[in-house]
C-alpha cells in the first residue's frame, strides 16, 4: 500500500475490502517439497480464516487486513502475511492461529481499522447522534433549572432583574443569583448553566425570562380553565395605575368547583387607555378572544 499516494489509499483499501479476499477455492493447489514431503495449501483453511488470501502466481498465503493496514512487522512471522507471503504449509493452521493472536494483536488492530473504514458513515452518524442527544439533555437540564427559578420567584412575588448583572457584579439580581445557587448545589445543573452553558443557550436574557414567565402564566390559566370546565362563572374587574402611571385592569374569575367551594382566580392584567365602560368592555373582549374563552357560561 505504501506505493500508492496517501490521498488515494483509503479509496483503494475500500475497493479491496468490497471485493473481499482472493480465495480460489476451486483451484488445484500446486505441491512443493517441504522437509522431504510434498505439501500444498488446503482449501478448507479459507473456511476457518475468513481473512486468508492465496496468490496462485506466488503459491503463498497472505492476510488481507494486514496487507491493507499493517504498518509494522513486530508480530510473529514478520511481514510474511503482508509482504513476501507465507508458504510453510506444514505449519499452516498453527501459524494462521498465531498470526491472529490476542485481541490487541497487530492483526486484530488492522481488522478493526478495516471495519471502521467500511462503516465510516455509520460511525460519524453515531457520533453526531450522541452529540445531539447530549445537547438535548443539556438544554433540558438548563431549561428545567431556569423554570425552577422562575416558578419560585413568581410564587414569592419577587423581582427578577438586578441593577447590575455583569460578571463582576456582587449581586446580579434574584433570577441569576438563584440560578447560581442551584448550580452550586447540583453538579448536573452546574455543568450546563451560566458560564458552562454553550453559545446562546444560557437562558438568562431578560427576553428569555419574560418568555418563561409568560409560559408559566399560560400554564396557570390552562389549569384554571381545566378546573372551571363548562361551569357557570362570573368575572370581577378592578382598575388601578402601575408605577408608570398607566391605567391597567385586573381580571378575576369566580366559580363553584365540584366540591361546592367558591373559587376565585386571578387570570390577568390588561392595560387600558381609559377606564370608561366601553374601554373596559373592549379589553375584556380582547382577553377572552386571546385566551379562547366563551361568554356563554358567563353570569352576572
pLDDT digit string (tens) for 199-251? 777 888 888 889 999 899 888 888 888 888 888 888 888 877 767 777 888 88
Bridge partners (DSSP) listed for residue 270: 249
Q: Which three cell numbers stand for residue 297?
A: 357560561
pTM over 0.75: no
Pick the CATH number of 229-291 from 3.10.450, 3.30.420, 1.10.10, 1.10.3470: 3.10.450
Indicate the domain borders of the chain.
Answer: 9-118, 125-210, 229-291
| Structure confidence at residue 74 (pLDDT) | 53
Count the helix, strand and coil residues of the chain and give each as a percent rounded to the nearest 5: 50, 15, 35
239-293 pLDDT tens trace: 777 677 778 888 888 988 888 889 898 888 878 887 788 888 888 888 788 777 7
Measured distance CA(25)–CA(45) in Å, rounded: 10
Cα separation, 272 vs 284, whole angstroms: 10
What pLDDT is attached to residue 260? 86
Give me the residue label for grid cell 357557570. Answer: 232
From residue 261, how far is each of 189, 251, 256, 299 by CA, in Å?
Answer: 41, 20, 5, 17
Q: What pLDDT score does 86 carry?
A: 92
CB 249 within 8 Å of CB 238: yes
The confidence band for 165, taking pLDDT boundaries of 50, 70 and 90, is: low
Amino acid at each position: 500500500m505504501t506505493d500508492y499516494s496517501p490521498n488515494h489509499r483509503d479509496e483503494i483499501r475500500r475497493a479491496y475490502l468490497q471485493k473481499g479476499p482472493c480465495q480460489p477455492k476451486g483451484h488445484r493447489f500446486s505441491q512443493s517439497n517441504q522437509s522431504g514431503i510434498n505439501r500444498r495449501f488446503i482449501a478448507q483453511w479459507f473456511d476457518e480464516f475468513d481473512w486468508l488470501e492465496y496468490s496462485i502466481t506466488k503459491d503463498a498465503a497472505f492476510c488481507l487486513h494486514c496487507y491493507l493496514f499493517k504498518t509494522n512487522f513486530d508480530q510473529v512471522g514478520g511481514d510474511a502475511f503482508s509482504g513476501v507471503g507465507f508458504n510453510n504449509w506444514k505449519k499452516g493452521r498453527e501459524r494462521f492461529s498465531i498470526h491472529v493472536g490476542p485481541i490487541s494483536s497487530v492483526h486484530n488492530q488492522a481488522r478493526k481499522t478495516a471495519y471502521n473504514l467500511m462503516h465510516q458513515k455509520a460511525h460519524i452518524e453515531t457520533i453526531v447522534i450522541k452529540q445531539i442527544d447530549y445537547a438535548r439533555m443539556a438544554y433540558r437540564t438548563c431549561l428545567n433549572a431556569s423554570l425552577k427559578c422562575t416558578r419560585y420567584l413568581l410564587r414569592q412575588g419577587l423581582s427578577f432583574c438586578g441593577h447590575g448583572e455583569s460578571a463582576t457584579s456582587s449581586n446580579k439580581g434574584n433570577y441569576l443569583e438563584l440560578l447560581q445557587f442551584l448550580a452550586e448545589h447540583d453538579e448536573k445543573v452546574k455543568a450546563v448553566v451560566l458560564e458552562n452553558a454553550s453559545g446562546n443557550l444560557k437562558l438568562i436574557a431578560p427576553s428569555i425570562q419574560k418568555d418563561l414567565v409568560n409560559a408559566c402564566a399560560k400554564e396557570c390559566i390552562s389549569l384554571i380553565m381545566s378546573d372551571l370546565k363548562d361551569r357557570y362563572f362570573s368575572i370581577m374587574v378592578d382598575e388601578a395605575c402601575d408605577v408608570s402611571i398607566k391605567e391597567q385592569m385586573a381580571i378575576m374569575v369566580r366559580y363553584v368547583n365540584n366540591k361546592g367551594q367558591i373559587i376565585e382566580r386571578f387570570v390577568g392584567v390588561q392595560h387600558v387607555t381609559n377606564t370608561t365602560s366601553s374601554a373596559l368592555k373592549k379589553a375584556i373582549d380582547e382577553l377572552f378572544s386571546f385566551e379562547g374563552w366563551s361568554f356563554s357560561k358567563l353570569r352576572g
